[in-house]
Structure 1
Amino acid sequence: MGLDRGDGWWRRAVIYELAVVSFQDSDGDGKGDLAGLLQRTDYLTWLGVDAVWLTPIYPSPMGDFGYDIADFRAVDPTFGTLADFDRVLHALHDAGIRLILDFVPNHTSSEHPWFVESSLSRTGDKADWYLWADGAANGGPPNNWLSRFGGTAWEWSEARGQFYCHTFLTQQPDLNWRNPRLQEALADVMRFWLDRGVDGFRVDASAVLIKDDLLRDNPPNPDAGKETPPPQRFTPVFTDDRPETMGCIEMLREVLDEYDGRVLCGEVQGKTDRIGHFYGSDKPRLHLPLNFALLDSQWDALSLQATIDAYFNALPKGAWPDWVIGGHDKQRVASRIGPAQARVLAMLLLTVRGTPFLYMGDELGKQRSPLPRESVQDPFEKLVPGFGLGRDPERTPMRWDGSEGGGFTAGKPWLPMQDHRSCNVEQQQRDERSLLQLYRQLIELRRKHPCLVDGDYQPRRARNDVLCYRRCQGQTRMSVGLNIANEPRQWPCGGGIRLISTHLDRAVEQVEGPILLRANEGIVVIEAL
C-alpha cells in the first residue's frame, strides 16, 4: 500500500492503541512480543486502522506496565530486540500503517543508569538530573506532595542523604526538567527513535513534567470525602499543570518538527476547558492533546450533546480535535454503557469531527475481565485497594479465537483470560453484523467520504433521547442520528440515502424523514439537496 508522508496525516487517521504484552505471544511464554505483533499486522490492515500506538517496549523491571524505563534506547528482551522492532516498523509502513511510540519523559526506573549515578553524590555529573531535596526540620519528607500510588511522593536515599520525588511508584524517580543537559538527553532519545522511522510519540504524563520550585504544600481537596482515594486528598496545585510545563512540551515539539510528517500526542489532565492550553499559540505544543471527554460523560443524549459542545468550544482556533474511547489505564467503556450502546459509540467516534483513538479490544466490545485477587499485578490495586483503581481488567490479553489460550498464547497468559470466550476476533469476523464488522465498515465509510473527516461539524438539537449532528463539506451534507434509548425513537431527519445502520441489517437505500430509529440504533444519511 505504501506510506503517505504528507503533513497532517493524523487528521485523517484512525489510531489504534495496543499493549504488545497482551496482543500476541509468539514463543509460548504467556507474554505478547514484537514477533507476535508482526504475525497480526494482517488483522490491523483488515480492520483498516491508519496508525498504531504501542505502550512501552523498553527495558524495564515492569513495576508499572513498562512505564518504569531502565533504558530509553533499547527493547526489553520480553518483547524481542531492536531488530524485531525494525521488522515490525517496516512491515507496518509497507502496509500503510504508521507507528507511534509511548515516550515517558517525567521519570525513569530507579534502575536507570542516570538515576544510579545521580544517587551516588550531590556533586556528580548527573547530580541534579532528578528532583532531590533535603528533609523537613523534623527529618520527614520535604512537603505534603502525594504519589499517585498512595503515600508520600518522597523517598529517602541513604547514599545521597536526601529525598527524591516520585509522582508515581517509589521505583519511578521524577526527572528534573529544569536541567538543560537532561532536556538535551531526552531530545536525543526522541531523535534515536525518529531516525529509525517512528511516526511520532504519545507523551506520558505530559502535564506533570515540572513541579513547583519552592516545593510549596498542596492545599486540602475541598471535595474529598470517604469515597475519595487517599492520593487525591490534596489538590495538586503545585505538582500538576504548572505553567513551566508548557515550555517542556514546546521543546519536545521543536525536536519532533526537525522531522517531516510526525505527530505529538499527549496525556493531559484537568477539565475540558483546560485542554486548549496544550495546543499552544505562539509556539506549537501537542498536535493532539488526548481527549477522554466521552469516557467521562454521562451516557444520555443531553449530556453527550453538552460534552461534545463544551469540548469544541474549548479548542483554540485552528486546533484539531480528537476523541479517545479507551486505553491501558481507562476502564472499558463497554462495561459502563453496555453492548448495545457500544455500537452507538462506535458510530459516534468515527463520524464526529476529530481523530478517533481506540484501544485494542474496543472493536470487539471487550468488557472488564474480573480477576482473582491472587492474579492482581497492577500497583494501583495493590497499593490503593478498595477504590476500583486497578487496571488489570483492561490489560488482559486479546482473544483471537475461542480456544483456552484465545489464540494469544500456547502457554499460560500473563494475566488470566476470564472474559467470555465468544468475544474474539475469529467469531466476529465470521458474523456479518458483529461490532467488529461495524468498526471495519465505519472506518471504510470514513475513508470513502472525506466529509466525515474534513467536513464542518454542525450540531442539531438533541431531543427525545436522540443525539444528532451534521457533517458538511461543499455540497455534501451527511447527517448522523444516534438513539441513546433502549426503545424506538423518531428522528426528524429530512431524508436522503441511508449509508449504514449500527445494526448492519439494512441496505443502502433512499429514506424519507422523519426516520424511526430502532432501540439503540444509529444511522448515517447523505441528505438530499
Structure 2
Amino acid sequence: MSWPERPVIYEVNTAVWLGELSCTLADVPPEAWNAVTPAGVDAVWLMGVWERSTLGLAIANAHPGLRASFYETLPDLRVEDVAGSPYCVRRYAVASEFGGDEGLAKARAELASRGVRLILDYVPNHVAPDHPWVVEHPEFFVRGDLDDYTADPQSWLIVGENVIARGKDPYFPAWPDVVQLDAFSPAFRAAATMTLASVAARCDGIRCDMAMLMTNEVFSRTWQVPPPSADFWPEVIGGLRAEHPETVLIAEAYWNMEWPLQQQGFNFCYDKRLYDRLVAGDVSGVRSHLLADPGYQSRLVRFLENQDEPRVLSELSPAAARAAAVVIATLPGATLWHEGQFEGRHVRPPVFLARRPDEQLDDDLAGWYRRLLAIVADHGVRRGVFRLLDVQGWPDNRSCERLLAWEWTAADGARHLVVVNFSDQTAQGLIPVDWPEKYTDLLDGSVYEAASPLYVELGPWGCHLFVAA
C-alpha cells in the first residue's frame, strides 16, 4: 500500500488499549478498529508491541522515582499495572500477551482492509540487559573495564567477563534498565540492518526512537570516541532499502538534528520546535518556523501530544488547544494524533503502565476533532503548494501580529485559506490574497463575500478554514 505525501498518523498505546478492550491484537473487535481509524487517518502507530524485559521490569519496580510516578498516575496501583518499558526491548517479537506475531499480522490485515497502514517502533541505541545479544554478542555494545565500573557503577554493568555501558544520552545520567549499543561497531551495524528489516517485514512504517543518538556527531560526543567515515543511519537505512524500499522511516529527533536526519535517509522527523512554540503561545516563533524551506517542512511530523509529552489539555486551555489543532491539521508534513487526545484526556500515563486512570471523556470534543480531520481529508486541504501569508495591520492596530495565516493552492485550482488567532484577545488583519466572489468557512459553514485584501476579525483562539467557491 503506497503512502500519501502528507500522512496522518494516530498513535495507540498498545498495552493500555488492549487492556481496556480485554483482548489481544488477534481479536480486536471491528468497532475498536473503527475508533482508531477515523476518516482522514492514514496510519496507526501501535506503540510498544515488542517483548518487554522481565529484568527491566524488576529494575523499574525498584526505582523510587518511577514508583512515585506510577502512584501519582494510579493511586490504586496494582502489581499487574506495571508492564515494564516498551523501550526496554528483550526481543523484536510481539509480546505473547498482545497476541504474538500472528496477532500482529491479523491487526495489520484489519488496518489494511480500512486503507490504513501500520507503524511500529524500533529502538536503535539500546536493548534490555537480558537481551540475548548481551551474552552472545558483547561486541555489539559499548564496553569498558573494571576501572570504569568502579568509578561509576550507575553507568556500567558487569556481564560475565564484560563491562557494558548502560544506555544514555549526553545530557542525562545513564538509564538504569537498558544497555548501550555501539553505533560504531561494524558487527552491530550489520545486526541493526537485519533487525530493522525484520521489523519492516511486519509493518508499513517504523518510528525510530531517539534517532539522533546514533548519528556519528552525537555518538562521538556522548562516548568520546572518534567516528568512522560512514555515518550510522545511511549505512543501516541503505541496507534496509535494498529489501524494503517502501517502508516509511520516522525519526524521533531533537537538538536541531531534524535536517541532518532527513539527509541521512529518514522520510519524516519530529517537529519538536513547533510543539514547544505552540505550547508556549509564541505566535512570532511559530510564524518564523513556518518560513523554513518547503521541502524541509514537508518532512516534519507535527504533533501536540505523544507518549512522551503531556496531554495538550494539561498545557493549554481547551480553546487554545483547538486552535493549535487547526494549525497542526493544516500544515505541510505528517501529522500525529494521540489516542485519548480527541476525547480530552488530561493524564498521560508513564509508558511503563498497562492501565490509565478513568477520566470523564468529552464526546463533543471528540466529535470536533473527527470532523476537523474529515474536513481536511475530504476537501483535500493540504494539496498543492503551501504559502505562508504576511497578515497586515494598520498604524493604530497591531493585533494582526496575533494572527497566523497560510494558503494551499492545488494544481487543479482548488484553494484553501487557514487563519488562526493564536491568542486570548480579539485580532484583526488584512490578508493579501485575491479570492473569487464567494468563499465558505468549512469549520462553521459561513459564506463570505470576497474582497482584496481580505479583512479578518477573529475572537480569542478563533479559526477560519476557507475554501474558494
Matched with 1:525 is 466
> Which of 65, 70, 90 lines up with 2:85 in the alignment?
65
Q: How far off its partner does 1:241 sit?
A: 13
| Residues 241-269 of structure 1 deviation map (CA, whole Å, 9 limit, x = unaligned) | 99769822113322342324320001112
> Which of 321, 338, 341 lines up with 2:320 in the alignment?
341
1:202/1:163 Cα in 2 relative to 1: closer, same or farther (>3 Å)? Answer: closer
Q: How far off its partner does 1:338 sit?
A: 1.2
Give the TM-score normalised by the residue count of structure 2: 0.79
For the Cα contact (< 8 Å) 1:312–1:321, is it kept in 2? no
> Which of 363, 377, 381 lines up with 2:342 in the alignment?
363
Matched with 1:387 is none
Q: How far off its partner does 1:314 sit?
A: 6.4
Q: How many angstroms apart in 1 are the aligned matches of 2:404 and 2:52?
A: 45
Letter in 2 for 1:278: L
Matched with 2:361 is 422
SS of corresponding position for 1:286: coil
For the Cα contact (< 8 Å) 1:14–1:355, is it kept in 2? yes
For the Cα contact (< 8 Å) 1:68–1:172, is it kept in 2? yes
What is the CA RMSD across the aligned residues, in angstroms? 3.3
1:115 is aligned to 2:134 = yes
Letter in 1 for 2:389: P
Q: How far off its partner does 1:317 sit?
A: 6.2
> Which of 206, 210, 227 lines up with 2:211 in the alignment?
206
Letter in 2 for 1:519: P
Q: How many angstroms apart in 2 are the aligned matches of 1:329 and 1:139?
A: 33
Letter in 2 for 1:89: R
Q: How far off its partner does 1:92 sit?
A: 0.4
Matched with 1:128 is 139
> Which of 36, 43, 50 lines up with 2:42 in the alignment?
50
Matched with 1:277 is 260
What stretches of structure 1 of length at least 5 have no aligned partner? Answer: 118-125, 142-151, 217-236, 370-390, 397-413, 429-433
Matched with 1:261 is 246
Q: How far off its partner does 1:316 sit?
A: 6.1
Q: How many angstroms apart in 2 are the aligned matches of 1:517 and 1:100?
A: 38
1:500 is aligned to 2:442 = yes
For the Cα contact (< 8 Å) 1:446–1:453, is it kept in 2? no
For the Cα contact (< 8 Å) 1:321–1:355, is it kept in 2? yes
Q: How many angstroms apart in 2 are the aligned matches of 1:138 and 1:173?
A: 14
For the Cα contact (< 8 Å) 1:467–1:484, is it kept in 2? yes
Structure with greater helix share of residues:
2
SS of corresponding position for 2:196: helix
Letter in 2 for 1:520: W
Give the TM-score normalised by the residue count of structure 1: 0.71
> Which of 108, 113, 116 lines up with 1:97 in the alignment?
116
Q: How many angstroms apart in 1 are the aligned matches of 2:314 and 2:355?
A: 19
1:329/1:460 Cα in 2 relative to 1: closer, same or farther (>3 Å)? Answer: same
| Residues 307-365 of structure 1 deviation map (CA, whole Å, 9 limit, x = unaligned) | 35336526766963331221111112221111111111121111112211111122223
> Which of 259, 263, 272 lines up with 1:292 in the alignment?
272
Letter in 2 for 1:498: T
Matched with 2:402 is 465
For the Cα contact (< 8 Å) 1:466–1:491, is it kept in 2? yes
What stretches of structure 2 of length at least 5 have no aligned partner? Answer: 61-83, 169-173, 393-399
Q: How many angstroms apart in 2 are the aligned matches of 1:310 and 1:243?
A: 32
Matched with 2:233 is 249
Aligned pairs for 1:421-440 within 5 A: 421-423=360-362, 428=363, 434-440=364-370
Matched with 2:184 is 178
Letter in 1 for 2:144: A
Letter in 2 for 1:263: V
Q: How far off its partner does 1:20 sit?
A: 0.4
Q: How many angstroms apart in 2 are the aligned matches of 1:514 and 1:500?
A: 18
Letter in 1 for 2:424: N
SS of corresponding position for 1:208: helix
Q: How far off its partner does 1:76 sit?
A: 1.2
| Residues 98-126 of structure 1 deviation map (CA, whole Å, 9 limit, x = unaligned) | 00110112111111111133xxxxxxxx2
Aligned residues: 419
1:312/1:68 Cα in 2 relative to 1: closer, same or farther (>3 Å)? Answer: farther
Q: How far off its partner does 1:527 sit?
A: 4.4
Q: How far off its partner does 1:287 sit?
A: 0.7
Letter in 2 for 1:23: W
Q: How far off its partner does 1:192 sit?
A: 2.3
| Residues 458-490 of structure 1 deviation map (CA, whole Å, 9 limit, x = unaligned) | 232382522222222343332211122334433
Tell me which moved more, 492-501 or 95-104.
492-501
| Residues 104-150 of structure 1 deviation map (CA, whole Å, 9 limit, x = unaligned) | 12111111111133xxxxxxxx2311111124489413xxxxxxxxx
Matched with 1:226 is none
1:326/1:136 Cα in 2 relative to 1: closer, same or farther (>3 Å)? Answer: same
Letter in 2 for 1:264: L
Q: How many angstroms apart in 2 are the aligned matches of 1:242 and 1:333?
A: 41
Q: How many angstroms apart in 1 are the aligned matches of 2:21 and 2:375?
A: 37
Structure with greater strand share of residues:
2
